[in-house]
Amino acid sequence: MIEAKKVINELEKRYTRLVGTSATNLCTHCGWCIESCHIYKATGNPEHSPVAKAEKVRKVLKRKHDWLSRVFPKWTGAADLSEKDIDDWIEAAFKNCTLCERCVVNCPMAVETPQILGAARGVLTSMGKNPEILTQLTDSAIAREENLKMMEGFFRKQIQKLEKQVQDKLGDPKASIPISEEADILYVPLSGVHTMIPAATIFNAANASWSMSLFEASNYGLFIADIPKAKKIVERILKEAERVKAKTLVVTECGHAYGVLKWEAPKWFNKKFDFEVKSLLEVMDDYVSQGLLQIDPSKNPEPVTYHDPCNMGRKGGIFEEPRRVIQAASMDYREMTPNRVENFCCGGGAGLVACSDWTEERLLYGSTKVDQIRDIKVSKVVTACDNCLHQIQELGEKNDLGITVSNVSQYLVNALVIPERGKIEKDKILQA
Amino acid sequence: MISEKFTHFVEYELQAIAIAWMIILYTIKAIQLSRLPMPWEKETKKGNSTKGVMISYASIFMPWAVESSRDHFWRWLGFALYHVGCLVAIVNTFTFTFTPELMTPTVKIVFSILIAPAILIGFLKFIRRLIRPEIRYISTPDDYFSLLSLQLFFFTGIMALLTNTPFWRSSYYIVTAAFLFYVPFSKISHYVYFFFARFLTGKRYGWRGIIPQNTTK
C-alpha cells in the first residue's frame, strides 16, 4: 500500500513555478504535441503521447491545486492518487519519456511536460520505485569520492598506459595526461577511454594547459531526480576545479553531464562558479577556428552526419560548434532532417540506455532516428553524448544501417595531421 | 417580452460583476504561481533571454518556425481563425455596449464574418476530439463543455450582431457573463497562463542560446 500523503508531500516539494504553470489549465489537450514525440511515433499508443503522460501526474496535481478539480474532479480529469498511478508514473516518467523536450518546442502553449515527469521521477525515487540500476550508478559515482585514496593509485596507473597511446598517436614522447594538477583547464571525462584518449590527443596537439579530473562527469542523480545526490556528485568536481585553480572546466562529450555542470549545478548551488564551464565541443571548435590543429579532411572521406544530443542542443544550446568541427574534418557532411532544436531524440536518453529491462522498447523508440539516418545514406554517425552513441550503435546493428558511430573528438583526431617528430624539433628550434 | 431594465442589467452590471470576478480569481492565481519557487539561471548566458522571450511569444504567429504548425498548416490556420473569432467576439461585448456609434451595419457584418468561421472550426474540433483515439484519450468533460460553451458564445454573438433584438442581445450578454464566471476554472484560462509559460520557457531558451539558435562565430 502506498502512503498517499507521503507521495503528495514529495510531489509538493517539486511543485516549482514551471511545474505549477504546466500543471494548471495551461494545457488545452489540443494534441499538437502528440506527433512530436518519438515514442508516440514509434508505438502509436495514445498512452505514449506527451500530453497523456503528463496527464497521469497532472491529474493528481490538479486535484490538489486546481479549484474546479477540488470540487468536481471527474469534470477536469483530476483524481486522487491511487496505487495504479504509481505504476503508471514509472511507465510514463522512466520508461516512456526521455525528457527530450521536443514536445515543449512543439507545444503552442509551451507546456513543460518534462518538468512534470521529472517531478514524478523524483517522487518515485524517494519511494524507491525508480529503476535500480540508475540508483546504483548514482551511488557508485558517490562511492568513488569516498574511496578516492584506494582508487586513485589504480586510476593513475591506467592513465599512464593511455598516455603511451597518446604519445604514439602524436609521435611526441612528451605528450602527457596530467591528472588533477594545476592548469588552466580541468577536463572531466567519462569512465570510458574513448572520452580520454581523443581529448588528451587534442589538448596535447593544441599545446593546452590542462589536466584531467580524477572523477567522471556522468551524473545519474539527474536521471533519478535525486538532487541531493546529484549535488554531491557535482561537488567533488567543483572542489577539484577550485583546488587546481582551473579557469575553465571542460566537460566531455556527455549530454546530461554538460547540462548538469553548465546549467543545473549553478542553480542547485545558487551561485555562479569562479570558473567557466564549457563543453569539449566548444573547446574543439575554438582550437579549429584558431588554427591550433592541423586537419586533413581527406582522412574522413565517408559520408557523415551529426546527431544532436537533446541535452547538448535543445536543452543546452550547443548546435553549431560540433558541426563546424565535423565539417572541418570531413569530406562529405550531410545533415539529418529535422535537426538542431527540432532533432529527434535517439530513444535512449534520460537513463533509458542503462535500463536493460527496457531494451526492446528503447530500440523501438529509436525507430524515427533509424529512418532519419537511413534517409541520408551515411556510413558514419557522429554524436556528442555517450548514451546517444550506445543507442545509435545498437540501432545500427539491429536495423542493418551499415554505420559506425563515434564521438566528435574521435572523429576529429582521426583527421589530425601529425607533423613528423623531426619537423616538430625543427620548428621548436626555429621558434627559439 | 424582455424589459429594457433587464437588458441594461445584463449588458452593464452583470458584465462588470463577471469581469471583476474573473480579475480577482486570476489575481489570486497569479499570486499563487509567483510564490512558487523558481530557480533562475545562474550561469553566464550564452544567448539573449529577451530575444528568447520575444521569439517564444511570436512563434505562435509564425507557422513556418515550429514543426507542429509547419507540418499541419491547415490545423494552424484553423487555430488562427478560431482565435480571431474569439477575439472579435470578446471585443464585440465591449464595442456593442460602449461604442454603439461604431457598430455600423458594415462593421456588424465584418464582425459576423470574422466570428462565423470559429463556429465551423469549433464544430470540426469537437468532431476531431470524438473520432481521433489519441485525442479522445486525453479529453475530459471540461474539454467538450468548453468547446460547446464557446460555440454558444459565438452563435449568440452573431445573432446579436445581425438582429440587434433585445432577446439576442440579452442572450449574448448572459452567455458572456456565464462564460466569464466559468473561464477562470476551466482550460479556457490557457490564454492567461500562456503568457507565464511562454515567458518562462522563452527566457530559459534564450539564456541558453537555444532560441534564437546560437550561430555566432
Give the strand order in the sheet containing A380-383: A333-334, A304-307, A380-383, A404-407
Q: Per the CB < 8 Å rule, is B214 touching A319?
A: yes
A26-70: per-residue pLDDT in tens?
A: 999 999 999 999 999 999 999 999 999 999 999 999 999 999 999
Say yes or no to pLDDT of A150 above 90: no
> Of A20, A104, A106, which is closest to B67 when you measure between CB atoms?
A106
Residues 6+ apart with CB under 8 A from B74: none
B23's grid cell: 480579475
Rounded to whole angstroms, the Cα distance separating A243 from A214 reads 12
Q: Could you name the CATH architecture of A134-289?
A: 3-Layer(aba) Sandwich (3.40)
Q: Which residues contact A378 (CB under 8 A, 6 or more apart)?
A: A302, A303, A304, A305, A334, A403
SS3 content of chain A, % helix, strand, coil (to 5): 55, 5, 35
Residue A98, CB half-sphere, CA atoms under 13 Å: how many?
A: 34
All residues at 6 or more sequence positions from A268 whose CB lies less than 8 Å from its CB, including other chains: A227, A230, A231, A234, B39
- For B53, which residue in chain A has the nearest alpha carbon? A110
pLDDT digit string, tens, across residues B35-90 = 999 999 999 999 999 999 999 999 999 999 999 999 999 999 999 999 999 999 99
A304 Cβ partners below 8 Å, 6+ apart?
Answer: A326, A330, A332, A333, A334, A378, A379, A380, A381, A382, A411
pLDDT at B216 exceeding the cut of 70 = no
Distance from CA of B98 to the nearest CA of A (A): 31
Cβ contact, residue pair A34, B134, below 8 Å:
yes
Q: Please confirm whether the linkage preceding B212 is cis (ω < 30° from 0).
A: yes
Of B128, B125, B89, B138, give the one whose Cα is nearest residue B110: B89
Q: Would you place residue A426 in the very low, low, confident or very high pLDDT band (cuts 50, 70, 90)?
A: low
- Residues of chain A with pLDDT > 70, as a percent, come to 97
> What residues of chain B lie within 8 A of the CB of A279, using their CB?
none
A4-130 and A297-414 agree in CATH topology: no
Please give, rounded to a whole number of angstroms, the shortest distance from the CA of B155 to a CA of chain A: 22
The full set of domain ranges for chain A reads 4-130, 134-289, 297-414
Give the A:B interface size as CB pairs under 8 Å. Answer: 180
pLDDT reported for residue A432: 61
Q: Do B185 and A67 touch (CB under 8 A)?
A: yes
Contact A49 B134 (CB under 8 A): yes
Within the 281-320 window of chain A, which residues sit less than 8 Å (CB to CB) from chain B? Answer: 285, 289, 313-320
Q: Pick B42's closest partner by Cβ from A18, A77, A271.
A: A271
Interface test with A, best of B53, B128, B140 (most A CBs within 10 A): B140
Kindly report the pTM of this predicted structure: 0.94
pLDDT band at A332; cut points 50, 70, 90: very high
Residue range A247-256, pLDDT digits in tens: 999 999 999 9
Amino acid at B92: N
Architecture of domain A4-130: Orthogonal Bundle (1.10)
- Closest Cα partner for A213 from A174, A261, A173? A261
Query: Does residue B1 have a pLDDT over 80?
Result: no
Write out pLDDT tens, residues A188-244.
999 999 999 999 999 999 999 999 999 999 999 999 999 999 999 999 999 999 999
pLDDT over 90 percentage in chain B: 94
Q: CA of A71: which chain B residue's CA is closest?
A: B185
| Under 8 Å between Cβ of B35 and A21 | no
Fold for domain A297-414?
Answer: Rossmann fold (3.40.50)
Chain B residue numbers touching A29 (CB-CB < 8 A): 135, 138-140, 143, 187
- Considering only CA atoms, give the Rg of chain A: 23
